[in-house]
Amino acid sequence: MIAVLKLLFKYQVKSWFSFLLCFILPFIFLIFCVAFSNTIQQPISSNGAFLALPGVIISIGPTIGILNLTLILTDFKQTLFFKRLKSMPLKMSEFFYSLVFYHLLIILIISAQLLGFSAAIYHKQIHFDWINWAWLFVTIIINSITSCLIGFIFNIFIEDFKINLIIAIAFFLLTVFLSGCYLPLFVIRTSAILKYLALIIPGTYASSLMIYSWYHFTPTYNGKELISYKDYGIFTNYLIPLIISLIIIIVLLSFILFHKAIKTLPYKIKKNLQEKINAKRWKRTK
């Protein structure tokens, strides 16, 4: 596992595009999202930086777990790196866990950098005392694992790297714009169509958990919350997105673990149908 992590790190350092995607793009999006959030009419009077930051942190998951992972695996298959990887005494499961663990570390590092950057630039606008840090950490983990599993599935079931990239980019764009990353969920929920589309995207549930952790210890007046996470999300109960997120992870992981059986399933069904048809024909001719 350590050997794979070292190879992945070497590739990350040498690939300028991967470095740009992981360590530069999130900060550019943060600046634009803060400016955009300042123009939005919010449910409760707040500020753009505190509204935009959770969405940008959530967007790191699909950016790295879907886009970057797809680019890395696609590039591996066309370079000497994949041959070096094949020569290593490594099982497919070990490579999978190493890949997910590596991207999880990268996502945690960039999330910490974004929080530090926001504290330095927008320190007067960030209410760090409102945040439940334990829930924030759990949310980032769930979002990271889900995104990595989706990215890995694309590479397993789609062999053509061009189609793979197109689908990964399309899914990434749908995720960041419909799951509350760049467009807040309280804006999306105003449209019935966008709301139902958002419920199809796995990232929406991670965004809902992020909102719950972000507006957790909000100020109260006479025992009532002045600001609630319910004002900014789709769900009124954090257990719903949590349970659905865990179910999604289990389903995606099952797809990966049993991908060989799943890929051959259509052929088995077709074979069984053909055998039944042949059996009926044989009975008729008998």
Per-domain boundaries in the chain: 2-285
One-letter amino acid for residue 209 of the chain:
L
Residue 241 has pLDDT above 50, yes or no: yes
Contact (CB, 8 A) for 44 and 127: no
pLDDT at 17 over 70: yes
Residue 268 has pLDDT above 60, yes or no: no
The residue that leads in pLDDT, 239 or 83, is 239
Residue with tokens 């980032």: 140
Query: pLDDT for 183-198, tens place per residue?
Result: 888 889 889 999 999 9
Q: Check residue 43 and give its pLDDT.
A: 57
Average pLDDT of the residues in 192-206: 93
CB contact at 8 A, 39 and 81: no
Helical H segments across the chain, by residue range: 2-14, 16-23, 25-37, 48-62, 69-76, 80-87, 92-121, 133-157, 161-178, 185-188, 192-200, 203-214, 239-257, 259-285
pLDDT above 90 for 212: yes
Burial of 132 (0-12, 13-18, 19+ CB in 10 A): middle
| DSSP for residue 238 | T
When mean pLDDT is compared across 86-90, 114-118, 124-128, the lowest value belongs to 86-90
DSSP structural state of residue 231: G
Q: What is the mean pLDDT of the chain?
A: 83
Mean pLDDT of 84-93: 63
pLDDT in the model for residue 126: 87
pTM to 2 decimal places:
0.85
- pLDDT of 44 strictly over 60: no
| Mean pLDDT computed over 142-146 | 95
Q: What is the mean pLDDT of residues 145-163?
A: 86
**Token couple for 243:** 């349970």
- Residues contacting residue 231 through CB under 8 Å, at least 6 positions apart: 43, 44, 186, 215
